C-alpha cells in the first residue's frame, strides 16, 4: 500500500496557492488551504470507516449508521469534501462551504467549536465578487480532489500533515506572518529532542502555554508511549489556535484542552483561583517579546513574578516565570526554548536568573545550532528546569557545532539528538562538549550561564616539527630552481 509523503501533500498545497495568487495577501493563503486540507482528511477518514463497516455489516445501512455515530467525530450527511466537490459549480459555493463547516462544528462541539469562526469562504473582500469567487473556490476544490491526495490513516501514518504543511506554507512566503512563523511551529527534530529530554511518564499532565500549531505538544505526548496522559495548551493567535485544535483531532488527541488567549495577561488554564499545575511544561515562546504586559506584572494575582519583573521590552523571563509557576512542586519539569540572552543579560533578568539558580531549579543549559527555526537565524538554547532536583549541579551542553546544514534552515540529525540526550541522562562532563558545573563555579561566574564560560571548545593546534618544515622548504626551493631553469631554456629557444 502506497503511503503519501509530505512532498506530495506540499505539491497539492502549492498548486492551491495559485488559486489565490493576486487576490489575497499570501499570509491568508494558509487559512483557506489548511481548512480544506483538514476537511479532506476528515472526509477520507470517514469514508474509510464507512467502507469498513459496510463490509462488516454486509451493507446493512442502519447498523452502519449506528456504528458511525459512535466514532470519535461525526460527519453529518452532505458535509464531507466529496459532497462539496459535486456542488463545485453551484452559484453559491462559498455559502455552501461555510454551511458545511458550521454543521461540522455543531456536530462536534466539544472538539471543533469556534475552530472555523475566523474563516469565510463567501467573503467578497477576500475572495472577490461572486463570479471570480466561485471560480476560485471551484479551482480550490479541484486542487484537493486529485487521486494522489489520499489522506486515509493507512496512507498517512503518523505524519504531522497539518503542522508540516503549515510550516511549508509559511516557508514559501516572505510575508510578515511568514517571518514570524517560527513562533507558531517548532521543527520536528527540535520537538523530538525536547520530548526525549523531558521524558514524560504515564499519567503525565503536559502543558504548552504558547502552543502555536500544537506540534510540540503532540510530539511530547507521543514520547509517553501510551495514551495515559492529558494535554493542555494556550495560544493567543486566533487562526493558529484553530490550527492547533484541528491538529489535535488529526492526531487522535481529541481530549486536549486548547485555550485561546494571552497566556501572560489572561491565563486560561486555571483551577480554582490558582494556575493549573503540570508534570511537564514545554514551550517555544516568541523570542524577546516587546510589550508583553510588564505594567500589570507587579499586581499579578497568580504571583508569577515574585523573583522579579522582566524588562518590558523583553518577555523571555515572563514566559519562563509562568512555566516555572505552572510546574508541580514535586518533580515538575520545564523545557523552554529561548534566545542566548537569557543566560547572561543583567538587570531584572539577572536577578530572576540568580533566584532560579539559588532555588536549585536549573538542571541543564543546552546550546543549539543556528538557523534551526524558520525566520530566526540566531542560535537558541534549551533550558531544562526541574523542581525537586537530586543535585545542585547544572549541566551545560554545547551542541551548537553539530548539525545537518541546509540552504535556508539547518537541522538536527538523529545522531545529534541521540548524543545530546545520552549526555543529558549521564549528567557528566564530556571534553569540549559538556560540563557539569557546581554551584560554586556558577557563583564565581556571577550567575552568568553563558555556555562558553563552562564548556571549553578550544582545540589546541598540533605541535609544529620545525626540522621537518625546514626540509620541506628546502625541497620546494630545489623544485622551484629546476622549474625556473627549464622555463629559462624554453624562453631562450623562443628568442625571448
- Partnered with residue 204 across adjacent β-strands are 229
Q: Which three cell numbers stand for residue 166?
A: 503549515
pLDDT at 458: 67
The neighbour count for residue 257, using CB atoms within 10 Å, is 14
From CA 126, how far away is CA 81, in angstroms rounded? 22
Residues whose CB falls within 8 Å of the CB of residue 333, separated by 6 or more in sequence, listed in order: 198, 279, 280, 281, 327, 384, 385, 386, 387
485 DSSP 8-state letter? H
pLDDT at 181: 42
Question: What stretches of 136-242 adopt beta strand conformation (E)?
Answer: 204-208, 229-235
> What's the distance, Cα to Cα, between the start and end of the chain in Å?
77
41 burial class (0-12, 13-18, 19+ CB within 10 angstroms)? Answer: buried
Looking at 251-395, list the stretches that DSSP marks H as alpha helix, in order from N- to C-terminal side.
Answer: 316-326, 341-344, 347-358
Q: What is the pTM of this model?
A: 0.86
From CA 292, how far away is CA 289, in angstroms rounded? 6
From CA 130, how far away is CA 437, in angstroms rounded? 67
From CA 259, how far away is CA 113, in angstroms rounded? 12
From CA 18, how far away is CA 15, in angstroms rounded? 5
- The length of the chain, given as a count of residues: 496
6-174 has which CATH code?
1.20.1260.30
Cα–Cα–Cα angle for 367, 369, 370, nearest 5°? 120
Question: What stretches of 7-102 adopt beta strand conformation (E)?
Answer: none
| Structural contact between residues 327 and 385, judged by C-beta atoms closer than 8 angstroms | yes
What DSSP letter does each residue of 476-495 carry, written as one string? HHHHHHHHHHHHHHHHHHTT
Give me the average pLDDT of each 10-residue run along the chain (496 residues). 81 86 75 92 92 90 92 94 96 97 95 92 91 93 88 79 80 47 70 96 97 92 93 94 92 93 97 96 94 95 97 97 97 96 97 98 97 79 96 97 87 96 97 96 97 84 76 87 85 76
From CA 449, how far away is CA 113, in angstroms rounded? 44
Would you kindly state where each structural domain of the chain is located, as residue ranges? Answer: 6-174, 181-453, 465-496
For the chain, the 3-state helix, strand and coil shares in percent, each to the nearest 5, are 45, 10, 40
pLDDT at 182: 45
The fourth-level CATH superfamily of domain 181-453 is Vaccinia Virus protein VP39 (3.40.50.150)
Taking CA atoms, 14 is separated from 25, 162, 192, in Å, by 15, 14, 27
pLDDT at 172: 67
Residue with C-alpha cell 499570509?
27
In this chain, the answer to whether the domains covering 6-174 and 181-453 adopt an identical fold is no
pLDDT at 255: 92
Amino acid at each position: 500500500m502506497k503511503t503519501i509523503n509530505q512532498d506530495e501533500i506540499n505539491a497539492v498545497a502549492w498548486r492551491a496557492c495559485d488559486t489565490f495568487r493576486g487576490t489575497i495577501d499570501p499570509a491568508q493563503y494558509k487559512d483557506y488551504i489548511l481548512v480544506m486540507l483538514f476537511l479532506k482528511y476528515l472526509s477520507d477518514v470517514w469514508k474509510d470507516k464507512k467502507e469498513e463497516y459496510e463490509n462488516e455489516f454486509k451493507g446493512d445501512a442502519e447498523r452502519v449508521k449506528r456504528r458511525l455515530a459512535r466514532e470519535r467525530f461525526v460527519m453529518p450527511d452532505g458535509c464531507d469534501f466529496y459532497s462539496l466537490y459535486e456542488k463545485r459549480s453551484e452559484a453559491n459555493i462559498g455559502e455552501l462551504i461555510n454551511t458545511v463547516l458550521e454543521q461540522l462544528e455543531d456536530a462536534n462541539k466539544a472538539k471543533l467549536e469556534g475552530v472555523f469562526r475566523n474563516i469565510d469562504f463567501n467573503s467578497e473582500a477576500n475572495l472577490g465578487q461572486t463570479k471570480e469567487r466561485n471560480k476560485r473556490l471551484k479551482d480550490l476544490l479541484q486542487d484537493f480532489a486529485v487521486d494522489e491526495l489520499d489522506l486515509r490513516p493507512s496512507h498517512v501514518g503518523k505524519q504531522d500533515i497539518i503542522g508540516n504543511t503549515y510550516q511549508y506554507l509559511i516557508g514559501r512566503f516572505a510575508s510578515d506572518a511568514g517571518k514570524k512563523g517560527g513562533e507558531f511551529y517548532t521543527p520536528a527534530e527540535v520537538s523530538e529532542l525536547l520530548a526525549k529530554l523531558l521524558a514524560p511518564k504515564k499519567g503525565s499532565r503536559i502543558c504548552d502555554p504558547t502552543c502555536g500549531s500544537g506540534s510540540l505538544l503532540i510530539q511530547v505526548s507521543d514520547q509517553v508511549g501510551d495514551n495515559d496522559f492529558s494535554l493542555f495548551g494556550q495560544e493567543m493567535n486566533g487562526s493558529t489556535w484553530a490550527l492547533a485544535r484541528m491538529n489535535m483531532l488529526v492526531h487522535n488527541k481529541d481530549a486536549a484542552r486548547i485555550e485561546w488567549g494571552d497566556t501572560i495577561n489572561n491565563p486560561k488554564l486555571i483551577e480554582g483561583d490558582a494556575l493549573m499545575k503540570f508534570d511537564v511544561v514545554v514551550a517555544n515562546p516568541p523570542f524577546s517579546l516587546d510589550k508583553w504586559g510588564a505594567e500589570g506584572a507587579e499586581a499579578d494575582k497568580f504571583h508569577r513574578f515574585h523573583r522579579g519583573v522582566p524588562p518590558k521590552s523583553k518577555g523571555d523571563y515572563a514566559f519562563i516565570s509562568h512555566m516555572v509557576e505552572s510546574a508541580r512542586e514535586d518533580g515538575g519539569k520545564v523545557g523552554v526554548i529561548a534566545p542566548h540572552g537569557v543566560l547572561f543579560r543583567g538587570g531584572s533578568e539577572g536577578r530572576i536568573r540568580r533566584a532560579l539558580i539559588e532555588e536549585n531549579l536549573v538542571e541543564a543549559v543546552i546550546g543549539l545550532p543556528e538557523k534551526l527555526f524558520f525566520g530566526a537565524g540566531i542560535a537558541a538554547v534549551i533550558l531544562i528546569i526541574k523542581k525537586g532536583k537530586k543535585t545542585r549541579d547544572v549541566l551545560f551542553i554545547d551542541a551548537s557545532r553539530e548539525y545537518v546544514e541546509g540552504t535556508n534552515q539547518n537541522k538536527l540529525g538523529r545522531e545529534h539528538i541521540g548524543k545530546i540526550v545520552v549526555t543529558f541522562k549521564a549528567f557528566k562532563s564530556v571534553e569540549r562538549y559538556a560540563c557539569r558545573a557546581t554551584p560554586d563555579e556558577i557563583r564565581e561566574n556571577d550567575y552568568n550561564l553563558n555556555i562558553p564560560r563552562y564548556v571549553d571548545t578550544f582545540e589546541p593546534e598540533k605541535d609544529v616539527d620545525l626540522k621537518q618544515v625546514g626540509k620541506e622548504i628546502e625541497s620546494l626551493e630545489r623544485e622551484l630552481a629546476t622549474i625556473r631553469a627549464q622555463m629559462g631554456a624554453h624562453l631562450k629557444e623562443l628568442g625571448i
